[in-house]
Structure 1
Amino acid sequence: MSNVPFLPPSSPFVLPSDPFEQLMAAYGVQLQYMKGHECPCVLGNLEVPGSPDPACTTCNGRGTYWDTPSEPFFGLLTHIGRTNYGNEPGSVMDPTQGNVWEASPTITIPPSQVGPWTQATVYDAFIEPNAPQRFNTTLVVGGNPYLPYRQGLSIASTGAVRVYDATTHSVVSGVGYTVSSGGVFLADTYPNGTAYTVEYYADPVYVVFRTAGGAPHFRPLGAVGNPLPLRLHCQLLDIWTRSRSGSNTSTSPFAFGSG
């Protein structure tokens, strides 16, 4: 007698669209979509062909820039603790960038959420609004003064900035500063190269950018013939911008500064 494996029928064991929509409504989060564009400065940089122009005022020297955020919609954002999906949010020591805050969520958009985000692809970005987190970003005088996370930005009027004094090899707190369009500017004059850290709250931003499975694909859920939910593997903006950081002073609120 031959051993024939049992294959269950596709229905009702698959998740039809109605229960899936109910699942998303119960466990989904609010998101905003930002369409990404590859900047032509990458090919226009004659000094280093194929690399972004650090002086580009549109992309902040990263080769990619984004449109303004869309209206909010609901989707599923999950951090799956498997090596092929990426770890949950946490701090990690990167061999090139040093200590970084990393997260690699999977964003799932149900078919009912119709909008430009259904065409999302690599380099597009998603904001998780109304989910502020506390970030610390180190900037450098003479470099890019703009924070990487600017949506829902909240910075204390005093005490949020600390400067490193290279002469005394110590950290100076209580320095004066101003905030404008997501940029943090020191009130006193410091020499170029002086590092200062900004503590602030902002909504996290995720870029569709992954080595494995980074391109958009559709989840095989739902009855035959029905629209399928879109799944996107993303990466938290911090490490992404550090690896593509520029040195200009663009005021574009959606190009994102160095992390």
Structure 2
Amino acid sequence: MSRPSEPASPALSELEAEAVRHRPAFGENAHVLCDNLVRIYKTEGVEVVALQGLDLLIDAGELVAIRGRSGSGKTTLLNLVGGLDRPDAGRVAVAGQDVTALAEDGLLALRRDVIGFVFQSFGLIPVLSAAENVGVPMRLARTPVAEREERTRMLLSLVGLADHVNQRPYELSGGQRQRVAIARSLANRPRLLIADEPTGQLDSQTGHQIMQLIRALVRSEGVTALVATHDPGLITLADRVLELRDGALSVADTPTPA
């Protein structure tokens, strides 16, 4: 009596192919993804490689600090993540959206609704009050007036400027102006906050206060933050610190918990 034949075992090549099919995509669960980014600038016929094959994954709710010398590519990286520039190669995704695949109208919506920006130079409109500056993104998003005014008051209170709502930028100190800028960046409830040298024009004490504020807002508002800074005294407030050098990122150190 013949024995029933056993099913053939799958070949090694078939197992490998199956593993590849079910392998998680790189960074598929990350809140921010940079996959093999390349950015090259041409200046007077000379090519300058700002980023070369850069990879970065950031989880939701993380505060990640990027440090590096001037000209290392920190601002380039932030501009690519924020949809202000496009890479020569590679891919950027934020909150599940492929930034590199978006057309201009999609990028405008991303910057309006998903990403908040804080710049070294504050970027406030001089003729508008603190409250009016904070309200600008909500006007662009056509937020109803009552909701806009309520959120403006809440945000200015959150950053410690409840008594300065009607003052214009020239009536505020540098630290107060940056607080207004931070409140404005949160106006439309962004999922990612991008801050490029947010303490660069501030003294060390005020700069530390601003970084503490960003740290607190990441926790209270549930926002993810990507901050570029060259100040070693501020990076201890980050969850993770990365060094940008020669167009690529590496782990800089382990910050002391804030």
Q: Tell me the TM-score range normalised by the shorter chain.
A: under 0.3
TM-score by length of 2: 0.27
Q: Report the structure, 1 or 2, having the larger helix content.
A: 2
TM-score by length of 1: 0.27
Q: Report the structure, 1 or 2, having the larger strand content.
A: 1
